[in-house]
Structure 1
Amino acid sequence: MNIRNRYFFQDQRMDYFKSFSKAWCLDYLLLSEQYFLRRYLSALRAEEYYTFESPNKLMRLFYLRRKNLLGRKLGFFISAGCFEEDLKVYHYGSIIVHPKAKIGKHCTIHGNCCIGTKGGNSEGYPVIGDHVDIGQGAQILGGITIANNVRIGAGAIVTKSILEEGVTVVGIPARILQ
């Protein structure tokens, strides 16, 4: 497998169907939520490929436009290079990620999430580890660090670093669940 194919299909936990299979045809004809999520992630990964791995201005702009058109339908604003490999998005609806935020491998993100600064003169951007599950409506704000294998509960607002691995954080402001 060449680097282009490996880069395009690194989101392994998303359900990609074989072209022209029964599942693919149904998904395409019904224009399901998962169909648009897969197309968005493919456009995002293609933009990243043509930005970082094999720079090509025309192809990068093509995939950037495709990603932005789909992002407007889905409510997503995710810049190229924020997420490492194997991103899983469960739902559409207002996912906003600051362009300088860094999120690790195998991240799961649900709808209505915000990963960004606290506003004003920003004091930094979130750095999120590997295998992090971000629940519905969660917000991760400021120059904080989140360790690996952390689960962030639905509606949690994380404003302080979570340095302990494998914990669950919930609440406003987010606290480690004991």
Structure 2
Amino acid sequence: MQSLLLLLQLWAVSLGRTQGCVGNSECCGLRELERTGAWLSKGSPPELQPCHVSPQHRTASEENTELQCQGRSHGPPNSRAISPWRYREDCDNARFPRRLLQAECLCPHCVSLDPPHRLDRRGNSVQVNASTTVYYQRQCPGRPKAFYLEPQLYSVAVACICVVPRS
């Protein structure tokens, strides 16, 4: 019973600490902001590694729609779907979580279920979006070394589906 009470107290203290940097009336130093942002992102110890954004290079096969828009009978669900997609890293060093995965539809249209599983122009591939809360790092007014986290809703593309075109 005592261990349960101790766990509840530790949990309450950790909740109180995370609120210290959220909102423009709760300014904190950069180190505490990083810890709070990491905790809000994952609920685990902070990963203080910044994003390294590199330019995206597309290969010839990625640019060729006919090659990438063929059905597959193996691999993860996103590659076997009739509206296949891949994930792209959405990286922002001023946001927590810093890294989000965004689905990108590989085909403008759907893939036929009939062999040889080629592009079927009777349907369109569209992204399915979900909203999540992210936290942006902001500087406190009049305090150059103090920051806070501003919560905002953020749209994340989670998958692609095949839909009937609008008429």
Taking structure 2 as the reference length, the TM-score comes to 0.24
Q: Which has the larger radius of gyration?
A: 2
Which structure would you say has the larger RCO, counting Cα contacts within 8 Å and 6 or more residues apart?
2
Taking structure 1 as the reference length, the TM-score comes to 0.23
